[in-house]
Chains A and B, each alone.
Chain A
């Protein structure tokens, strides 16, 4: 399987704390994308980081990418109860026969 893996599988934090999720992947990439999924709903794209970028910010989100280690991390700062969701990384289809590959996801619970 070319799926990536996310770590941790589940994370529970207090509101206001920071949440960090890690993703490892197996293929070369053109970009890596992070998505959020509220329970049972469709995934929503959060942020895209290109292979030549090392860090990217969007609001309270900070993504880093280390292509030498084939890993990425997503940091959510000052978390809110509304951030409770599952978070997935995905590699784009540029080098994988036009298929996107998703990680197994991190389930984040933010306790008010």
Chain B
């Protein structure tokens, strides 16, 4: 089944404790991206990747890192999480920059 898999689904952590949210897609998509969704603000892009070893900042990259060592995986890293990073996070992938996005089921992160 074609899908984008994110883990974990829920994550509660404390300020400053490094964490990684994994994302994997099995559709051989070139384009992958991360979004955060906050009430009243919609979806905002954090980082995106056009292909392996190519990553670029989105609109809200501060406090986040990503890597794209393999085509299928695009992990999101929070080196030192802060409470303002409490949010619902989505990974998505698509064939190209103007193709429909396929979304993972989301990771609800709480930073205390």
Contacts and interface: CB of A to CB of B under 8 A. Distances in A.
Interface stretch (A12-20, A68-76, A100-108): A100-108
Given A43-B103, A100-B33, A103-B42, A30 B98 contact: yes
B11 interface: no
B43 interface: yes
Nearest to A96: B97
A2 B44 CA distance: 10
A3 B35 CA distance: 13
A42 B106 contact: yes
Contacts, number: 68
A60 interface: no
Nearest to B33: A100
A102 B42 contact: yes
B56 interface: yes
A24 B90 CA distance: 23
Interface residues of B, number: 29
Q: Which secondary structure characterizes the binding site on chain A?
A: loop
B43 A92 contact: no
Q: Which of B43, B92, B99 has the most CB of A within 10 A?
A: B43
A45 B108 contact: no
B74 interface: no
Interface string B58-84: 110000000000000000000000000
Q: Which of A31, A33, A41, A100 has the most CB of B within 10 A?
A: A100
A104 B104 contact: no
B48 A42 contact: no
A88 B42 contact: yes
Contacts of A98: 31, 48, 50, 56, 97
B88 A92 contact: no
Given A42-B105, A88-B42, 19 more contacts: A3-B42, A33-B101, A40-B88, A42-B92, A45-B100, A48-B100, A92-B99, A93-B97, A97-B56, A98-B50, A99-B33, A99-B58, A100-B45, A100-B101, A101-B45, A102-B35, A102-B43, A104-B41, A104-B42
